[in-house]
Amino acid sequence: MSPPNHLGDKEKARDERGDNSSIIAMGPTQDNSFLEADSVYQAKARILNDAIQEIGMGRYQWQLFVVTGFGWMADNLWPIVTGLILPPVLKEFRFQGPLLKLGQNIGLLVGAAFWGVGSDIWGRKISFSITLLIVGIFSIVAGASPNYIALTTFAALWSVGVGGNLPVDSSIFLEFVPASHQYLLTVLSIWWAFGQLLGSLVAWPLIGNFSCPTTEPPSPCPRSSNQGWRWFLFTMGGLMMFLWAIRFFLFTLYESPKYLMGRGRDVEAVKVVHKVAKANGKESSLTVERLMSAGTLQSPRETKRDLAMDNSAIAVIRRHLSKFSSGHVKALFATRKLAYSTSLLIILWALIGLAFPLYNSFVTYYLDSRGADFGDGSVYITYRNQVILSVIGVPGALLAGWLVELPYLGRRGTLAIATVLTGAFILASTTARSSNALLGWNCGYSFTSNIMYGVLYALSPEVFPTKDRGTGNALTASANRVFGIMSPIIAIYADLTSEVPIFIAGAIFCAAGFIALLLPFEPRGHASL
């Protein structure tokens, strides 16, 4: 699959003459110190972009595509895991199922905030090396949970690791990939689809064959007859440990050159570019003198205010949390058009953050109960259908990478259409009067939702102004996780066997699709700075 040309002739010419007005025109006018630092950073970023483009898409970037893909896979796998184990866990522990999702979503919120800020404090490498390890350890321990309180606690803990994968891994990949292949950030979501497929394939034989049967009224479900979900957690946790070992022992991650440059470490940034070139079997013409000719970005260690407290952990955290200051937030709303764009993105992420877990977390239980009404509601059939849904999602991720580069459609149009269709398929599923019809509607949902998420995760970082991108990403991610926490609370007051959660989720997706169509900026054709 070869996408349309990423940078048109006009964009290439504009990039060569150093004019990035197509990107920074979105941003507000700030005081002179901000403008000076911003212009120096952008000039240096363009030089690094040229250097990465000169190296091209080679061995190192393709290896990075795989190892960062592990994080994307984990990001979708573990929310799916809690949905897959929900029916047998409810039978054994007899508690309110949404409590498990509530614990998980709280962990995801903490993880996203902690690892996102942490990667700016100590760099990308540490976060990249630890997150999967945390997931593996606590998920294996969770398999031995004696009650729902322990299980919910461990789900929150493994989610702290899961929550850090996507923001860290997407940043790493975007900062190493050449502009000509930036569309691969969308294609990277194929790993997201693989996560769902893998979880469903493993759950099918384990949970399908080693769980208490569905009966009406519910019969006792002792642990000895319900080991499938525990073996499933052991297996998935072991997989995370294996993927972590590949990252830690078999792959050498270089620190992001843009991160190093932003910290005033130009010499190290140039060294990394040359290491990447060597890994690709090429040479880079980038020199320290060329990078420094664009100006000097003062390292946080060099400011007078920071010298006296450079070794203070509190001071370090305060400096890096400064990106959440009112000045950076106000910058995202400084003009009417920019405020409109920022507000729509926050609303979009919040709505999808509510709708996706509200539906996905309870779809297995819903299918199980509806299947019983049709006379074929065995656990085996439930998880067989889940595998089918997961397979359907894989081509959706690939198609998204092609659609976002099409003229007139781009990121914005693709996201709008895919999101509306996702909601439409969810709503249509409530009309099913047979097991096959219900499965068919959910296949449509799986296909379009994978397109939707693939585009959403790539579009947002490209739309925010360069200077305030960190704050913008933090706002959207926080909205997504906060509303994700709300979804199980809503489900607590809804009957999981009814269509109520399904109607709510479908309507929210449709509304989010129309909001996506209203986004004022289209990032297609612009290199990320």
pLDDT in tens, 195-249: 888 988 898 889 888 988 766 667 788 888 899 999 999 999 999 999 999 999 9
Is the pLDDT assigned to residue 22 strictly greater than 50?
no
DSSP state of 6: S
DSSP state of 182: T
Question: For tokens 């129309």, what's the residue?
Answer: 514
C-alpha 484/C-alpha 478 separation (Å) is 10
C-alpha 356/C-alpha 485 separation (Å) is 11
Question: What's the pLDDT score for residue 9?
Answer: 41
Question: For tokens 């397979």, what's the residue?
Answer: 391
Is the pLDDT assigned to residue 270 strictly greater than 90?
yes
Least confident of 147-161, 180-194, 357-371: 357-371
C-alpha 434/C-alpha 440 separation (Å) is 10
Please, what's the b/e burial string for 374-413 (b: 16 or more CB within 10 A of its CB; e: otherwise)?
A: eeebbbebbbebbbbbbebbbebbbbbbbbbbeeebbbbb
C-alpha 221/C-alpha 206 separation (Å) is 16
C-alpha 29/C-alpha 335 separation (Å) is 9
C-alpha 477/C-alpha 238 separation (Å) is 28
Give the torsion sign (CA, 157, 163, 169, 171): negative
Q: Which residues contact 143 (CB under 8 A, 6 or more apart)?
A: 230, 231, 232, 233, 234, 237
Residue pair 456/426 in contact by the 8 Å Cβ criterion: no
Residue pair 170/68 in contact by the 8 Å Cβ criterion: yes
C-alpha 154/C-alpha 167 separation (Å) is 22
pTM summary value: 0.76
SS3 53: helix
Residue 312 CB coordination number (10 Å): 12
Least confident of 142-151, 365-374, 493-502: 365-374
C-alpha 448/C-alpha 193 separation (Å) is 11
Closest of 289, 285, 312 to residue 301, by C-alpha:
312
Least confident of 243-257, 297-311, 504-518: 297-311
What domains does the chain contain, in order, with CATH numbers? 59-255+329-517 (1.20.1250.20)
Question: Within 13 Å of residue 115, how many CA atoms lie on the same side as its CB?
Answer: 31
C-alpha 54/C-alpha 44 separation (Å) is 15
DSSP state of 246: I
C-alpha 488/C-alpha 493 separation (Å) is 9
Is the pLDDT assigned to residue 311 strictly greater than 50?
no
